[in-house]
Amino acid sequence: MIANDRRIRVALLGHGTVGAEVARLLDEQAGELAARVGAPLELAGIAVRRPDKHPDLPRHLVTADAAGLVDSDVDVVVELIGGIEPVRGWLLSALQKGKSVVTANKALLAEHSAELAEAADAAGADLYFEAAVAGAIPLLRPLRESLAGDRITRVMGIVNGTTNYILSAMDATGAGYAETLDEASRLGYAEADPTADVDGYDAASKAAILASLAFHTRVTAADVHREGIAGVSASDIVAAKVLGRTVKLLAICERVTDADGGESVSARVHPVMIPRGHQLAGVNGAFNAVYVEADAAGELMFYGQGAGGAPTASAVLGDLVAVARNRVLGGRGPRESAHAALPIRSMGQTPTRYHISLDVADRAGVLAQVAQVFAVHDVSIAAVRQRDRHSTASLVIVTHSAPDAALRATVDEISRLDVVHEVVSVMRVEGED
Ligand code: NDP
Ligand code: HSE
């Protein structure tokens, strides 16, 4: 039952893939949402870039003046435009005036969460962003609230639907890269500029958000080592298949403890080979899945639709209900904490494992020469497999864990050996210790 005539006035910025679904659900579920919040949610306006492209929207609601809408008499700003500027200024201004903000904008949060969180704290306003990572999957709230009493050691998973859609198709059908990307864009998974997906920027932003929450440390996108899938070739996919593995783009955030007990945070995004029996190997299409490891909880897995209008709108509406309830009850939700302020470990120092596939001369002493390079860089070999061709041999080497810089230096030196005709594929390996 609604106790008084209070209404929560909502400004919706953006009416694209996600914004249109939020507007639809706000309208269709108005009665239910009002009951859950304890007050009706009233759409005060919808800001778009080109109002004439939205003839079906009520004219009195549509505006191209997003700044004016944010400044008007609204309680909550829901931002579904994307990008950094001018959105950063609008949201900062809303928070400074005590308005709550709900956003799905990972690019903005991964760079400016500190100043946005400070503005929210100063004004006692809410800043919620569940939809920014892994679409529909409730992941940020469990990290921030449910696991607040535990010590998280690792967060690893598939957090970009577009690249997962492309890699799944390449693996299943050998489909071409460009045609699959077009399909992902058509389905509304890809960012406005799909290079943000393909080059790993989107996943790196999400890794920064995940690492910040998991390790109570401010991590920005610039702190995340980033490699996209543009370099993943058909040969890599075939090399993975031959070994019973598949290729995925993973975000891996770890709390690393040194020999002297000092802790640091490592955050990285890059393609990896994982065994086909690994649970992440079965995550296909635009689905996302994230493993969380914590001292007391052990292993947790979160799985669901990571992109698309309706799934993402579900997370946005969850946040909207939460911040609206807080306003009705007169409080604010839990803040994120960055109190641990752990140092960031560079990629070069981060321990990883490599799969290296080489075409080498097929004669005595070649294996010894190659093995010597590994020894020089103190990289231990876990497995070697050789297949003979005519005058060449195909050599597949999987290493034990070593600092990434040592592994890179090893590959670099091997590629310069006369006996090595071609470095066919180099990829990091996860999920098999
Ligand atoms: P779209 O490109 O589909 O929609 C963007 C909307 O913003 C459009 O309605 C556009 O107006 C409007 N817009 C752009 N610039 C301005 C401006 N200067 N002033 C007012 N309105 C403007 O984006 P998505 O819905 O896909 O994504 C929105 C946000 O959600 C992004 O931050 C994205 O990263 C995030 N996100 C997206 C997911 C997805 O699966 N698509 C999943 C999770 C998060 P017009 O329609 O007139 O062009
Ligand atoms: N472009 C993003 C993806 C949308 O493909 O995962 C969801 O954040």
Helix then strand then coil, % of the chain, to nearest 5 = 40, 25, 35
| Residue 142 DSSP SS3 | helix
Q: 245 vs 63, 240, 399, CA distance in Å?
A: 51, 5, 15
Within 10 A of 347 (CB to CB), how many other CB atoms are there?
A: 18
Q: Which helix (H) or strand (E) holds 405?
A: helix 404-415
* Ligand that comes closest to the CA of residue 66: 1
The binding-site residues of ligand 1, defined as CB within 6 angstroms of any ligand atom, are: 14-19, 47-50, 53, 66, 80-82, 104-106, 131, 135, 188-189, 191-192, 307-308, 312
- In the CATH hierarchy, which fold is given to the domain comprising 140-305? Dihydrodipicolinate Reductase; domain 2 (3.30.360)
Annotated binding site for NADPH: 106
Task: Pick the catalytic residue from 53, 97, 99, 206.
Answer: 206
105 backbone dihedrals φ, ψ, rounded to 5°: -90, 85
Topology agreement, domain 8-135+309-329 and domain 348-429: no
Model pLDDT, residue 433:
64
Which pLDDT does position 4 carry in this prediction? Answer: 60
Domain boundaries, the chain: 8-135+309-329, 140-305, 348-429
Rounded alpha-carbon distances, angstroms, from residue 338 to 54, 117, 129: 41, 11, 16
Minimum CA distance residue for ligand 2 atom 1 = 190
CA distance 340 to 87: 29
Is 251's C-beta closer than 6 angstroms to any atom of ligand 2? Answer: no
Best residue for ligand 2 mutational test, from 197, 201, 206, 269 (most atoms within 8 Å of Cβ): 197
pTM greater than the 0.85 cutoff: yes
- Level-2 CATH architecture, domain 348-429: 2-Layer Sandwich (3.30)
Catalytic: 248? no
Identify which of 309, 308, 289, 292 has the alpha carbon closest to the alpha carbon of residue 300. 292
Q: Quick one: DSSP state of residue 46?
A: E
Interior/surface letters 402-415, b for 16+ CB within 10 angstroms, e for the rest: bbbebbbbbbebbe
Q: How many Cα atoms within 13 Å fall on the side-chain side of residue 385?
A: 8
Alpha helices in 148-226 (DSSP H): 161-173, 177-186, 195-198, 201-215
Cα(398)–Cα(357) distance, rounded to whole angstroms? 9
Output the 3-class SS for 79-104: ECCCCCCCHHHHHHHHHHCCCEEEEC
Q: Domain spanning 8-135+309-329: which superfamily?
A: NAD(P)-binding Rossmann-like Domain (3.40.50.720)
What are the binding residues? 13-20, 106, 191
Closest-CA residue, ligand 2 atom 4, reads 307
**What is the pLDDT at residue 335?**
84
Instruction: Report how far ligand 2's centroid is from the alpha carbon of 418 (Å).
Output: 43
What are the start-end ranges of the H helices in 7-63?
17-28, 30-37
Each of the 433 residues of the chain gets a pLDDT tens digit; together they read 455 678 999 999 999 999 999 999 999 999 999 999 999 999 999 999 999 999 999 999 999 999 999 999 999 999 999 999 999 999 999 999 999 999 999 999 999 999 999 999 999 999 999 999 999 999 999 999 999 999 999 999 999 999 999 999 999 987 777 788 888 899 999 999 999 999 999 999 999 999 999 999 999 999 999 999 988 888 888 889 888 999 999 999 999 998 899 999 999 999 999 999 999 999 999 999 999 999 999 999 999 999 999 999 999 999 999 999 999 999 999 888 899 999 999 999 999 999 999 999 988 999 999 999 999 999 999 999 988 777 789 999 999 999 999 999 999 999 999 999 999 889 999 987 6
Q: Give the separation between CA 34 and CA 192, rounded to whole angstroms.
A: 33
191 alpha carbon – ligand 1 mean position (Å):
8
Q: What is the largest CA-CA distance in the chain?
A: 87
Give the count of alpha carbons within 13 A of 5, CB side only.
Answer: 0
Mutate to test the pocket of ligand 1, among 50, 81, 90, 159 (most ligand atoms within 8 A of CB): 81
